[in-house]
């Protein structure tokens, strides 16, 4: 199944650079979806477009055997690229709130699409090496947590062969060639909120006649830092982030309102409930302490569930990845990553095992003297750009080859070689 992967890399690199230079925001992946559909049809796949909006599904049946779902996400982020690469994005887009924003593949979804298209090409070209059916899912809108749900709501379960296992991968700023996963929770749940604080505006020279929502917002931001440090045990995992504050128009005007955007990450239902309740309690208490004329408005934004890896299927994937890439390249994570994913929605909806793994895409030169165990224990060096950074971009080669190989090797366990071949 792997014969010819290396020969595909130059063409796949050209595809990757094109996708990187032309990113598209969530549910706007029209150009990307068109490229995916055209490539799949050229490889001989049965293709369905516009699944859940801009999603694309390819099906390749090759005799009797299990059904394996392979997923890649396609959307980009409202980030202005600063990598300096010759194929860096200069794209602009309009976000869901109607704002014009820069657009960048700052999370590696262009790499995911490239690797899955490389794997689909191999599967189509080497039918003598496997049997069964593969469902290749190119999903929109992972970044906003709605793409998988949109595809499922669009009849995914009834329109396509029912998978026996769901597999996916995500590129991270780890040394290229390294892969990492774990059984059980692999990525955190994410809950986000928009908070509108009500004050009473007025002149900056007479603050005693106002209720200042900017001071109220500042007090909330500071107090929220105590939720994890004082209400979550050291053996548990949670993160609370205030990602945006919007208030006022001029330095000498106290505004009527202030807006906060808040994100909570957790890995268990108990911790989630405790942290979300604490966040709401603090917001309402600080508003009351500030004598706000109205209660704050707390609006839930799109959320992500915990991503759970099936233990038995994960053990199989770890063995397969170790066999293809070398056992010293595979790391079993001691705890979940605090980022979030919606890939698990497919396995949950289908009622089948799913496995997500991470693969490195960063030059080894940035990790001199740092081994996999050091990364797990101490985190990334400050010099390594992370996902969602304007400086983040995976190293195309050999990341593409590793990503294609990882997908094929993981799927191979469920796609047995035909008898006598």
Residues annotated within a binding site: 107, 109, 143, 170
Kindly tell me the burial class for residue 301, based on how many C-beta atoms sit within 10 Å of its own C-beta (0-12, 13-18, 19 or more).
middle
Helix (H) or strand (E) holding 241: strand 238-247
Strands 132-139 and 55-62: antiparallel
CB 361 within 8 A of CB 394: yes
CB 34 within 8 A of CB 144: no
Q: Cα(217)–Cα(248) distance, rounded to whole angstroms?
A: 12
CB contact burial 126-150 (16+ within 10 A = b; e otherwise): beebbbbbbbbbbbbbbbbbbbbbb
Q: Cα(13)–Cα(19) distance, rounded to whole angstroms?
A: 10
Q: Cα(34)–Cα(140) distance, rounded to whole angstroms?
A: 12
Q: What is the DSSP letter of 367?
A: G
Q: Cα(343)–Cα(156) distance, rounded to whole angstroms?
A: 14
Binding-site residue set for Mn(2+): 107, 109, 143, 170
Q: Cα(382)–Cα(257) distance, rounded to whole angstroms?
A: 37
State both tokens at 143: 């970044």
Q: Give one DSSP letter per residue of 324-340, joined into a string.
A: HH-GGGEEE-SS-BSS-
Q: What is the DSSP letter of 128?
A: G
């Amino acid at each position: 199944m792997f014969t010819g992967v290396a020969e595909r890399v130059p063409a796949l690199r050209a595809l990757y650079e094109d996708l990187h230079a032309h990113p598209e925001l969530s549910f706007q992946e029209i150009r990307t979806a068109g490229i995916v559909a055209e490539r799949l049809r050229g490889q001989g796949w049965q293709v369905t477009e516009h699944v859940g909006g801009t999603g694309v599904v390819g099906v390749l049946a090759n005799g009797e055997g299990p059904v394996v779902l392979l997923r890649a996400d396609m959307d980009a982020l409202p980030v202005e690229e600063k990598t300096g690469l010759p194929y860096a994005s200069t794209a602009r887009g309009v976000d869901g709130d109607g704002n014009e924003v820069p657009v960048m593949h700052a999370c590696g979804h262009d790499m995911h699409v490239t690797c899955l298209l490389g794997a689909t090409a191999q599967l189509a070209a080497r039918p003598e090496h496997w049997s069964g059916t593969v469902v290749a899912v190119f999903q929109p809108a992972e970044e906003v947590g709605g793409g998988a749900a949109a595809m499922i709501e669009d009849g995914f379960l009834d329109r396509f062969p029912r998978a026996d296992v769901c597999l996916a991968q995500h590129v991270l700023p780890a040394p290229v060639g390294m892969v990492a996963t774990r059984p059980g929770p692999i990525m955190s749940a994410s809950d986000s909120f928009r908070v509108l604080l009500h004050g009473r505006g007025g002149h900056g020279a007479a603050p005693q006649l106002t209720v200042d929502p900017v001071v109220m917002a500042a007090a909330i931001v500071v107090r929220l830092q105590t939720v994890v440090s004082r209400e979550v045990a050291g053996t548990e995992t949670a993160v609370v982030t205030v990602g945006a504050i919007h208030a006022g128009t001029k330095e000498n005007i106290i505004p009527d309102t202030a807006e906060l955007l808040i994100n909570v990450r957790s890995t268990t239902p108990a911790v989630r409930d405790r942290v979300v309740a604490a966040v709401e309690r603090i917001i309402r208490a600080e508003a009351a302490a500030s004598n706000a004329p109205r209660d704050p408005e707390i609006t839930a934004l799109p959320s992500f569930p915990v991503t759970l890896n099936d233990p038995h299927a994960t053990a199989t994937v770890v063995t397969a990845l170790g066999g293809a890439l070398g056992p010293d390249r595979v790391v079993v994570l001691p705890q979940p990553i605090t980022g979030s994913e919606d890939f698990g929605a497919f396995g949950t909806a289908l009622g089948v095992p799913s496995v997500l793994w991470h693969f490195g895409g960063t030059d080894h030169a940035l990790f001199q003297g740092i081994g996999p165990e050091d990364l797990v224990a101490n985190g990334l060096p400050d010099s390594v750009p992370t996902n969602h950074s304007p400086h983040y971009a995976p190293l195309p080669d050999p990341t593409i080859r590793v990503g294609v190989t990882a997908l094929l090797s993981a799927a191979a366990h469920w796609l047995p070689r035909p008898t006598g071949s």
